[in-house]
A and B are shown apart, each in its own frame.
Chain A
């Protein structure tokens, strides 16, 4: 995990006009509506791009780190889009003598849907710190053990990533002509990292216990969605349905 990468995406946390739980539900609804756009409906996909664009421009989220992230993760999507491009060559529209095939349209819709859904997701995470995200999940009745797990993974990924990077650098500095970079040496490195990890986990647990940490596996807080949040969720659903209907 790259700390600078996450920090670049994780802009400046901001208070949201609605509750964090409601924001997560609205995001889920948005993604459901986007994925329900038919295969050849380019207009629908463009129209739904308006929502993440509004969110990013209004909140001043830096788009470049998010778009860079998308480029890195997109090869599989680009392959699937290329498949449509190659296999569906039936001309659907002709503009000034240039035939636009069904594959071109469906491939554009796949790429656009990917950009729209992922920018929306990353934008929300850019304004919501992870501990607030965890608390919102608790309010939505996600099991405590899973939320605790998420928070711990997030917290300790930075530390272990630094340790892994140091181990890899140490190995690379001792390597000549690529020797020692094979699976056997790497397995031992990963094994060493694992042993250090478990030792660290024991120390962390002792420190957390000393500060009064207790794992409450069975507690179930009530779902806390305020009336204003409920109105926001219904309004968002109606707005998405309207856009889906119009385009």
Chain B
């Protein structure tokens, strides 16, 4: 369920980065500066535990496929929301940095979808009220399954919203929802059942481990609402700023300086230059990317958001840049050889 940089616009990615970074800062303040630093170490090792637990696969009955635990809800139950959020966020950072899960810009979205939702929505508003003191096996089972399933559904819904708002994918909102929600409901039920199994085992062997979270105060609903409100405001405000039909500050300045609403588009400047170069140097000077005798294709091309006239010279130019960068890198490496490995 990891979002990717390539599917996000800078506005949506930046807004979720701001919300997630703010929540990390806030959670760090909420964790009391206890003289007992053992809980800090416990958090670190529990983050590593999530990685390790994800390596243990199980067979999903009746399907022939296998799966592994996600661990978000389990951490929230064991560590409480603030510590679980920090721990999950750190796991996601390491997944992004070393396993290419998502990317740097998408990290804000991933922390929101995979850490914020289980820690600050699923645990306090679904799991805790249903589970109560955790002594009833039936309540523990229904709390685990309901919280995991709803948490995953909310995360999947968030992925759909972030992708749709970014406008990179052509998948319609409804189709994307139909694809994402049913599969995540099933995954959520399996995750919940496994979480229940682990919690039951812990309750019967080391019940002391379950006390940490039960002694933690749940985040107030106002806090969660405020975080969601800030996310909505950030995205809505930034998107509407970008989508404004009136000229923005930059356009206004350009208008004052040049008398035009906008400068010649970047592609026009570079592509006229490159097209000129191409005409002089090209092996096939008469080759035209735009030329087509197909009437339907011509009509479609007129309404297409793609500007084919800029394509050939633009792509040729960017490929030249790419080749030059690769050649420059090889020359640089030969000039400054790497130190011998010890």
Contact = CB atoms under 8 A, between A and B. Distances in A.
Partners in one complex: yes
Nearest to B205: A195
Contacts of A192: 201
Interface stretch (B125-133, B220-228, B231-239, B315-323): B315-323
Given A1-B51, A43-B317, A46-B318, A83 B56 contact: no
A94 B291 contact: yes
Contact of B105 (A12, A35, A47, A142): A35
Contacts of A14: 338
7 contacts: A35-B8, A146-B24, A152-B41, A181-B57, A183-B61, A187-B196, A190-B194
Contacts of A122: 97-98, 100
B38 A191 contact: no
A197 B47 contact: no
A43 B44 CA distance: 43
Interface stretch (B145-153, B245-253, B326-334): B326-334
Contacts of A156: 44-45, 47-48
Nearest to A189: B56
A40 B305 CA distance: 8
A145 B104 contact: no
A230 interface: no
Contacts of B10: 32, 35-36
A174 interface: no
| The 5 A-B residue pairs with the shortest CB-CB distance in the complex, in nearest-first order | A152-B44, A187-B197, A57-B329, A43-B314, A191-B201
A12 B8 contact: no
B105 A117 contact: yes
A199 B66 CA distance: 29
Contact of B101 (A73, A198, A243): A73
A55 B38 CA distance: 41
Contacts of A59: 333, 338
B154 interface: no
A146 B310 contact: no
Given A121-B104, A161-B52, A186-B56, A215 B291 contact: no
A58 interface: yes
Interface of B: 2, 4-10, 13-14, 24-25, 28-29, 31, 33, 37-38, 40-49, 51-53, 55-61, 66, 69, 78, 86-87, 89-91, 93-94, 96-101, 103-105, 163, 167-172, 190, 193-194, 196-198, 200-202, 205-206, 209, 266-267, 269-270, 289-292, 294, 296-297, 300-301, 303-308, 310-311, 314-315, 317-319, 321-322, 324-326, 328-330, 332-333, 338-339, 341
Contacts of A106: 168, 170
A225 interface: no
B202 A194 contact: yes
Contacts of A114: 4-6, 103
Interface in A89-120: 90-95, 99, 102-103, 105-106, 109-111, 113-114, 117-118
A50 B297 contact: no
Given A80-B169, A149-B43, A194 B270 contact: no
Given A103-B170, A198-B45, 13 more contacts: A47-B318, A59-B333, A66-B100, A91-B296, A92-B308, A113-B5, A113-B6, A145-B28, A146-B89, A168-B56, A187-B196, A190-B69, A215-B37
A103 to B, nearest CB: 7
B13 to A, nearest CB: 6
A110 B33 contact: no
Which of B6, B24, B266, B341: most chain A Cβ within 10 A? Answer: B6
Contact of A91 (B48, B49, B301, B315): B301
Contact of B266 (A110, A159, A204, A244): A244
A164 to B, nearest CB: 4
Interface in A1-60: 1, 5-6, 9-10, 12, 14, 27-28, 31-32, 34-36, 39-40, 42-47, 49-51, 53-60
A160 B197 contact: no
A87 interface: yes
Which of B2, B28, B33, B170: most chain A Cβ within 10 A? Answer: B170
Given A143-B28, A213-B37, A31 B294 contact: no
A182 interface: yes
B86 A188 contact: no
Contacts of B172: 87
A64 interface: no
A161 B104 CA distance: 25
Contacts of A232: none
A224 interface: no
B289 A50 contact: no
A149 B90 contact: yes
B51 A160 contact: yes
Given A146-B24, A205-B41, A84 B169 contact: yes
A214 interface: yes
